[in-house]
């Protein structure tokens, strides 16, 4: 489906959706907790719903409502095939958990997830006692446990998601475990995992995110938790507030707990000269002219699309470091941003040697941009259209992965979208 985003003035308040990252961790904890847990304000994005189906397939009894999800945990697989959709986090989170059981299981992927590398995960799970088979290093993944625990060394340079999976699974293994982690990226996501573990009765000690000591034989406690507002989606809304607020757009639902990597967007906005103000319910960003800035997104790579879109309207070039983190996303986001933004008249330079993406701003030109099957590319294209010139966006349905109501929510605060 295609939509055209037209230049718009946005006003009032808009609430961020629930975090799919936080929700998936809570679903994993609820699965492993014996007893009844509640997840309030659940995410209804495709990734979160896929995770709920996997948790049910692994033994959880789940009832989903609009405002709450009730689950009774207990790892007792009901099926030997689990479908993760396109969720990279879901695949890397639930594979170690599935490997706790002695039942053979196959973890299935769809879309771009079929091409994402999983060999590092397979090697580590094998070292920890599981049997693992891959399709040339990629999904589907065939698993057979039980995961027994032990000592393993991980390279955290590509993704922290598998580390999250191990941190959630290994406390339930029979033996103690030690994880030695080098070159860890996206540390805030690991901190989110540790916060969820602590709140559900699990004890893990780490030394500067490099050595994690995990006692085995632990038991998750049932919980009643509210899913945090999603800073990854909130980044787009804050940027739209800075570019299109008239007289202001207030973004509600962004808190500081649990830790989320994309909270760093506020730092990028401040570097550009933007003025942010905390209100009783959210954050208000003043509309105005912005200058180019330099920002390190190594630990928050999901900020590349919204910051690149924002930088297109800043005065002077913007340099974002951490380019190597973009290759194994829903699309190769560095190349996708460069090619799609060029259609709208915005030059983006990629420098793999310096690990940078540089946005050179200019007048936005009306254009037709492909969403590349990537929810964040669709949202970035929408920013160019709402703040610049009419942009036709191909494949807008990709937003269902994390923010199904993206276009409807923006329409309620003044955004103008039309059919192509």
Q: pLDDT 10s per residue in the chain (420 long)?
A: 999 999 999 999 999 999 999 999 999 999 999 999 999 999 999 999 999 999 999 999 999 999 999 999 999 999 999 999 999 999 999 999 999 999 999 999 998 899 888 998 999 999 999 999 998 889 999 999 999 999 999 988 777 899 999 999 999 999 999 999 998 988 899 999 999 999 999 999 999 999 999 999 999 999 999 999 999 999 999 999 999 999 889 999 998 889 899 999 999 999 999 999 998 888 998 888 899 999 999 999 999 999 999 999 999 999 999 999 887 555 689 999 999 999 999 999 999 999 999 999 999 999 999 999 999 999 999 999 999 999 999 999 999 999 999 999 999 999 999 998
pTM value is 0.93
Same domain, residue pair 148 and 107? yes
Same domain, 361 and 381: yes
Q: Same domain for 318 and 400?
A: yes
Q: Is 374 annotated in the active site?
A: no
CA dist., res. 260 & res. 262, Å (int): 6
CA distances from 16 to 251, 268, 298, 308 (A): 7, 19, 24, 20
Q: Out of 47, 230, 262, 302, which one is annotated catalytic?
A: 302
User: CA 231, 235, 241: angle at the middle one, nearest 5?
Assistant: 130
As for how many domains the chain has, the answer is 2
Domain identity same for 90 and 117: yes
**406 and 337 in a common domain:** yes
Q: Cα separation of 175 and 149, whole Å?
A: 5
At residue 352's C-alpha, the angle toward residues 348 and 354, to 5°, is 95
DSSP assignment of 53-71 equals HHHHHTT-EEEE-SSEEEE
In a domain, 220, yes or no: no
Both 185 and 130 in a single domain?
A: yes
Closest CA to 116 of 143, 94, 134: 134
Residue 170: domain span? 20-214
Considering the domain boundaries, does residue 89 fall inside one?
yes
| Same-domain check for residues 289 and 414 | yes
Are 276 and 326 found together in one domain?
Answer: yes
Parallel, antiparallel, or unpaired: how do β-strands 211-214 and 177-182 relate? antiparallel
Task: Looking at the structure, tell me whether residues 289 and 393 fall in a common domain.
Answer: yes
Flag whether 219 is in a domain: no
Number of H helices, E strands in the chain: 12, 24
């Amino acid at each position: 489906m295609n939509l055209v985003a037209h230049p718009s003035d946005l006003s009032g308040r808009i609430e961020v959706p629930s975090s799919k990252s936080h929700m998936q961790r809570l679903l994993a904890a609820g699965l492993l907790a014996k007893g009844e847990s509640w997840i309030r304000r659940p995410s209804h994005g495709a990734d979160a719903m896929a995770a709920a189906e996997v948790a049910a397939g692994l033994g959880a009894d789940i009832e989903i409502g609009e405002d709450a999800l009730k689950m009774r945990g207990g790892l007792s697989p009901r099926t030997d095939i689990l479908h993760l959709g396109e969720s990279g986090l879901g695949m890397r989170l639930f594979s170690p958990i599935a490997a706790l059981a002695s039942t053979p299981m196959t973890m299935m992927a769809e879309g771009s997830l079929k091409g994402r590398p999983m060999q590092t995960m397979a090697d580590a799970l094998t070292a920890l006692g599981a049997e693992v088979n891959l399709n040339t290093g990629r999904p589907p993944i065939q698993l057979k446990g039980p995961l027994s625990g032990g000592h393993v060394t991980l390279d955290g340079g590509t993704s922290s998601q598998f580390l999250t999976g191990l941190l959630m699974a290994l406390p339930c293994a029979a033996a103690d475990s030690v994880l030695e982690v080098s070159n860890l990226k996206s540390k805030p996501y690991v901190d989110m995992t540790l916060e969820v573990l602590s709140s559900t009765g699990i004890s893990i000690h780490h030394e500067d995110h490099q050595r994690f000591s995990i006692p085995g034989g632990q038991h998750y406690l049932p919980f009643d938790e509210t899913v945090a507002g999603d800073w990854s989606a909130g980044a787009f809304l804050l940027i739209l507030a800075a570019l299109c607020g008239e007289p202001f757009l207030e973004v509600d639902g962004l808190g500081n707990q649990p830790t989320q990597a994309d909270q760093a967007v506020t730092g990028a906005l401040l570097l550009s000269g933007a003025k942010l103000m905390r209100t009783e319910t959210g954050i208000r960003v003043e509309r105005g002219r912005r200058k180019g800035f330099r920002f390190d997104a190594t630990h928050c790579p999901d900020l590349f699309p919204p910051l690149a879109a924002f930088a297109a309207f800043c005065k002077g070039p913007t340099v974002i470091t951490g380019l190597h983190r973009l290759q194994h996303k829903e699309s190769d986001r560095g190349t996708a941003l460069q090619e799609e933004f060029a259609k709208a008249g915005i030059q983006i330079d990629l420098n793999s040697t310096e690990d940078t993406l540089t946005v050179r701003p200019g007048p936005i030109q009306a254009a037709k941009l492909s969403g590349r099957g990537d929810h964040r590319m669709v949202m970035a294209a929408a920013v160019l259209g709402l703040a610049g010139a009419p942009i036709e966006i191909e494949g807008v349905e990709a937003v269902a992965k994390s923010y199904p109501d993206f276009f409807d929510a923006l329409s309620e605060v003044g955004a103008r979208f039309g059919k192509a």
